[in-house]
Amino acid sequence: MARREFTKATRRAALERSQGRCEAIGAWYGLEPGKRCNAPLSAGVEFDHIDLDANSKDNSLSNCAATCIPCHRHKSAKHDTPKAAKTLRQQDKARGVSKPAGNLKSRPSFPKPSKPERQGKQPLPPRKLFEAIS
């Protein structure tokens, strides 16, 4: 299958849209689901077909992502076949489970106020005030 490429105009437009930051998003590029890479593109930019072009043949701007080289390489290496895509979706799912969002680890932990709590003891039996000593 011949791989069609984006026109110069599309590449230029994608680069402008990216504002110089990698537009790769999500597991296709080895990122967390929904997360954008945002790496500066000053080190090198490549233009990736967001939808695999073998299927979509879509060279429009909406299918063009200006990505950093590691992102593009990751996707090219991992997603040449539908089978690989399925594998990644599964990884994606596993990652979503294993990495909970909203980690407050850095927040200083205050000691909990110690509540005066009754001990879990049974109440003592009533004492005789004057017990005979044998």
Q: Which of 14, 24, 52, 88 binds Zn ion (CB under 5 A)?
A: 24
Q: Are 70 and 10 in contact (CB under 8 A)?
A: no
Q: Which of 68, 74, 75, 88 binds Zn ion (CB under 5 A)?
A: 68
Return the CA Rg of the chain. 30
Query: Using CB under 5 A, which of the segments 63-71, 93-101, 105-113, 119-127 binds Zn ion?
Result: 63-71
Applying CB under 5 A, does 41 fall inside the site for Zn ion? no
Separation between Cα atoms, residue 74 and residue 131, nearest integer Å? 86
Min separation Cβ 115 and Zn ion, Å: 51
Burial 87-121 (b: 16+ CB within 10 A, else e): ebeeebeeeeeeeeeeeeeeeeeeeeeeeeeeeee
Which residue number, 6 or 29, has a Cβ lying nearer to Zn ion?
29
Applying CB under 5 A, does 14 fall inside the site for Zn ion? no
Min separation Cβ 43 and Zn ion, Å: 10
Token pair listed for 51: 């939808």
Which residue number, 42 or 114, has a Cβ lying nearer to Zn ion?
42
Q: Are 87 and 30 in contact (CB under 8 A)?
A: no
Applying CB under 5 A, does 39 fall inside the site for Zn ion? yes
Question: What amino acid is encoded at 11 in this protein?
Answer: R
Which residue number, 42 or 119, has a Cβ lying nearer to Zn ion?
42
> Which stretches of the chain bind Zn ion, using CB under 5 A?
22, 24, 37, 39, 68, 71
